[in-house]
Amino acid sequence: MSGESYGGHYVPTTVKRVRDGNLVAPASQKINLAGFLVGNAWTYMPIDNRGAVDYWWTHALISDDSYQKVTNSCDFTSIGPLSKRSDQDCNIALAEAQSSFYDINIYDIYADVCHSSSRMYIEQYAKYGSPVHVAMSKSAEKSLPYEPCIDSYVTAYLNQPSVRKSIHALETDYQWTQCSGIINYNYSDVEASVIPLYQEFVRAADMKILVFSGDVDAIVPVTGTRAWLATLNLPIVKKWSPWTVSKQVGGFVTQYWGLTFATVRNAGHMVPLTQPERALALFERFLKNGNLDA
């Protein structure tokens, strides 16, 4: 089982449901769950939020002054890309910080941004009050050497009548979009921690787990992921070391007792989109032998 971003919640909780079901299901109905993978995974709001702000500062997206204002005025349990609850001082500090990188692609900070009208994921998050995405939605048109609008092409492709017919979606009035305006996030779930599930899975020691992070994502960045992994206090089996693809460093990996953590170099929030070769190697090697050795 695998997922990314908010999959950091629904993958572990689905794994939990499958495991619990297997305990009572007859042999013929048990699901052979060998393990799971999550990438740039939303896990625990206070740690992920603080990790994001630390990432912005350490990657030169915000000033020292903005960093201090945010860290001094914000309760990290009540802010974030999908949360609207914070006090006025925090709102002002966040707005000031984010104004400095409004024209940066927060999902891949070294890629250019798309200004297409079909940027539904940005517009949707902006609709629900995310100040990061509100700022991004106001960015100006410019000439781009990099093609960042692949999502626009996917949207156009999936809404062609011939494609809709082939996937049996022709008889609906709904258009395919990057983000639904009908299905909303459940805030109580956004705020919940899934760290206890990792603790349970590691204790059971009966399946493979890979947590990976594209290292240029600034929305659920590697800094937050490393911070919540540290709370598990897992013994290190194999120390931080590079893993390679095509004689290049694909990222770095640490093997803990019961869990593997890997970074994917120069990958954004959607690792397979921005680094497909490295993502495929990561996926195939982990499925094959549980680690990233070639």
- Give the start-to-end residue ranges of the domains of the chain: 2-43+193-289, 45-187
Catalytically annotated residue among 152, 246, 269, 293: 269
How does the average pLDDT of the chain come out, rounded? 85
Strands 236-245, 248-256: pairing is antiparallel
Residues of the chain with pLDDT > 70, as a percent, come to 85
State yes or no: pLDDT of 215 exceeds 90.
Answer: yes
Give yes or no for residue 143 having a pLDDT over 50.
no
- Give the pLDDT score at 155: 85
Active site residue 133: no
Predicted confidence band of residue 282 (pLDDT cuts 50, 70, 90): very high
Residues 54, 217, 241, 246: which is the catalytic one? 217
pLDDT, position 268:
93
Q: Is 113 in contact with 132 (CB distance < 8 Å)?
A: no
pLDDT in tens, 244-265: 999 999 999 999 999 999 999 9
Q: CA 241, 242, 246: angle at the middle one, nearest 5?
A: 160
Mean pLDDT of 75-81: 71
pLDDT in tens, 161-186: 999 999 999 888 888 887 777 777 77
Tens digit of each residue's pLDDT (9 = 90 or more) over 148-166: 677 778 888 999 999 999 9
Q: Closest Cα to residue 106, out of 76, 130, 75? A: 130
> What is the number of alpha carbons within 13 Å of residue 194 lying toward its C-beta?
21
Residue 35 pLDDT exceeds 90: yes
Where does the pLDDT of residue 238 fall: very low under 50, low under 70, confident under 90, or very high at 90 and above? very high
Is the pLDDT assigned to residue 50 strictly greater than 50? Answer: yes
pLDDT tens string 85-139: 567 888 888 888 888 887 888 889 998 777 654 454 555 455 445 555 565 555 5
pLDDT score, position 145: 36
pLDDT at residue 174, rounded to an integer: 85
* Matching CATH number, 2-43+193-289, of 3.40.50.11320, 3.40.50.620, 3.40.50.300, 1.10.1040.10: 3.40.50.11320
Q: Are 22 and 171 in contact (CB under 8 A)?
A: no
What is residue 152's predicted lDDT score, i.e. its pLDDT? 77
Helices (H), the chain: 7-24, 45-58, 64-73, 88-99, 120-127, 131-137, 150-158, 161-166, 187-190, 195-204, 222-230, 271-274, 276-289
Percent of the chain with pLDDT over 90: 61
pLDDT score for 147: 62
Q: What is the pLDDT of residue 94?
A: 85
Predicted pLDDT at 140: 38
Closest CA to 114 of 81, 141, 154: 141
Task: At 127, list the tokens.
Answer: 């609709």
Instruction: Inform me whether the pLDDT recorded for 41 exceeds 90.
Output: yes
Whether the model pTM is above 0.85? no
C-alpha separations of 18 from 10, 23, 42, 163 in Å: 12, 9, 20, 34
Q: Are 276 and 246 in contact (CB under 8 A)?
A: no
Catalytic residue among 5, 83, 130, 152: 5
Q: Is 217 an active-site residue? A: yes
